[in-house]
Amino acid sequence: MRLSLAEGAVGVSAIAACIAACHEGFMKLHPRHGWAVTPRDAVVLQQDLRGEIDTSRPLSLPDVRLIAGVDVSIKNGLSRAAVVVTSLPDFAVIETVLATRPTPFPYVPGLLSFREGPVLEEAFSKLGTEPDVFIFDGMGIAHPRRIGIASHMGLWLEKPTIGCGKTLLVGRFEALGLKKGAAAPLVDKGETIGVALRTRERVSPVFISPGHRIDLASAVAVTLAATTRFRLPEPIRLAHAAAGTL
């Protein structure tokens, strides 16, 4: 059974009550490999998996009713993942799941998914709802090997995923307007891999890229719909708060 916001019939409180009463984990995951790898092995895995990433599928914004924010906090060798499922457009919190475990992988630029993937896999397995789309605090295909954490974990989820990076990892972009919604293509080696998107007037842009099972235009539309008066989309803000400081 899929739990969703049925038009005019099922309210947020009813969904939350059902989750509380019968939470056993709902999301079916599709793991592709184990996590006990070296940095060299990790790069090989990225190169092997990048061809499976699908960034061609449009996602109709009116069909998006549940949107999940994904974030991980790491401190003193421990990682805590938070996935917060909210309704759209009101951002009522439908479900929050947490997972904590030892951090298994060193910090290596471009290999974030191997550092955060294990704890995210555990958190995703606890979800009692099935979000329509996930927004990650991290990159999608705006990545040197075109498989950032939103793309990599998108293969686990087989759901639309979006990368929302706060800092530029790879690529260049031209100047963009100062108004909210202004965007400029993010280009690397002649390939458009995302956009620099201004989500708040006169505030630094975020870097949006499709993760998996969504195209760039849809990723931008979902991000703007999920952004209120802050720079970061509301589901990511909620996930960041839930992950907290260890």
Q: In sequence order, what are the residues at sequence separation of 6 or more whose Cβ sits closer than 8 angstroms to the Cβ of residue 13? A: none
pLDDT band at 27 (very low <50, low <70, confident <90, very high): confident
From 25, 27, 61, 60, select the one nearest 130 (Cα to Cα).
27
Dihedral angle sign, alpha carbons of residues 39, 41, 42, 47 = positive
* pTM confidence score: 0.89
C-alpha to C-alpha distance for 223 and 157, rounded to whole angstroms: 19
Which residues are annotated as part of the binding site? Answer: 71, 137
Dihedral angle sign, alpha carbons of residues 75, 80, 86, 88 = positive
pLDDT band at 246 (very low <50, low <70, confident <90, very high): low
Which residues are annotated as part of the binding site for Mg(2+)? Answer: 71, 137
**Residue 86 bridge partners (DSSP):** 67, 93
pLDDT band at 2 (very low <50, low <70, confident <90, very high): very low
pLDDT band at 23 (very low <50, low <70, confident <90, very high): very low
Q: Is the pLDDT of residue 20 over 90?
A: no
Tokens at 235, concatenated:
């589901």
Give the C-alpha distances (Å, rounded to integers) separating 140 from 48, 93, 185, 207, 216: 16, 24, 15, 9, 10
Number of residues written out for the chain:
246
From 174, 193, 190, select the one nearest 182 (Cα to Cα).
174
Please report the pLDDT score of residue 19 as a whole number.
44
